[in-house]
Amino acid sequence: MDKNEALEKLLSAYSHSYDILRDVEAEGGRYPAAAFFYLRDEHYLIRRDKQFYATEQHDYTYFYLTDRLDAETLRRQIERSKAAGMKEIKPHKEHMCSYVTLVILADEIDPEAKKLIKRTRFQKNFRLALHGWMEYHIAAMECSTLSFLSNPAGRAARKTLEDNFGE
């Protein structure tokens, strides 16, 4: 299976819960696809017009395809996707959390890039977490060996890759 076929299969899996956009331009770069998720949960006190509290959760996922992923390209993609996701986040009192995720499908991933994927961490609180927080996820699949990688926060994205392409 080549990267484009893998992307189509992955987007099909994401399309059940996410809004899919094609050919997304973000921060001076281009992604073949992006997926956005929004969840709002409201709790009421006795009647619907007496809202007790509400929470919002967002996920901004960007998909990147490449033949060979090196550490420098990965750094650029991390910064670009992080900046694009941060632009989308609008913290307010009902905002609970947002995730910015980069999913990489590559034929080959350099060992240095693999190390960078595993140690990439970023989390930000908005107004001492009173207006929520964000976390950066990254997951990658090396198509030639069918190996899956992620940072500690990106385990769910890696699991999605494993569920769709694992043995």
Nearest-10 crossing angle of helices 155-165, 3-14: 110
Q: Which of 37, 120, 21 is nearest to 79 (CA)?
A: 120
Encode 147-156: b = buried (16+ Cβ within 10 Å), e = exposed: ebbbbebbee
Instruction: Delimit the domains of the chain by residue range.
Output: 7-165
Q: Are 31 and 78 in contact (CB under 8 A)?
A: no
Q: Region 122-150: what's the mean pLDDT?
A: 94
Alpha helices by DSSP H, listed for 100-142, are 111-119
Q: Summarize pLDDT for 61-83 with one digit per residue, the tens.
A: 999 999 999 999 999 999 999 99
Give CA angle at 96 (90, 98), nearest 5°.
60
Calpha distance 71→36 (Å, rounded) = 26
Task: Give 121's contacts (C-beta < 8 A, 6+ positions apart).
Answer: 136, 151, 152, 153
| pTM for the whole structure | 0.93
Q: Summarize pLDDT for 80-130 with one digit per residue, the tens.
A: 999 999 999 999 999 999 999 999 999 999 999 999 999 999 999 999 989
